[in-house]
Amino acid sequence: MPSLLYVTAGCHLCEQAHAVLARAGLADAVQQVEIGYDEALAETYGSRIPVLRIEPGGRELDWPFSAADVLAIV
């Protein structure tokens, strides 16, 4: 299962998070999940996005994070 990046449309921080993942060489290994279509996800992550969920294990990394932060937990 790929790791997940919880995002929503029009979120400039989400775009920055994706760029950080690209710099870490992990953009293709992370699936973006739009929280706007799921009430439970919106409630859980709405005030925290972007959030990177590392699978397996489910560890979450809230924004802001750096490429070094991401690489340290994958």
Q: Model confidence over 42-68: pLDDT tens digits?
A: 999 999 999 999 988 899 999 999 999
The structural domains of the chain, with segments of one domain joined by +, span 3-73
DSSP line for 14-62: HHHHHHHHHHTT-GGGEEEEEGGG-HHHHHHHTTT-SEEEETTTTEEEE
Band the pLDDT of 73: cuts 50, 70, 90.
confident
Nearest to 8 by CA among 27, 33, 40: 33
Selecting from 3.90.25.10, 3.40.50.300, 3.40.30.10, 2.30.30.180, what CATH number does the domain 3-73 have?
A: 3.40.30.10
**Contact (CB, 8 A) for 20 and 70:** yes
Does residue 1 have a pLDDT over 70? no
C-alpha closest to that of 65 among 52, 48, 47, 74: 52
pLDDT classification of 2: cutoffs 50, 70, 90? confident
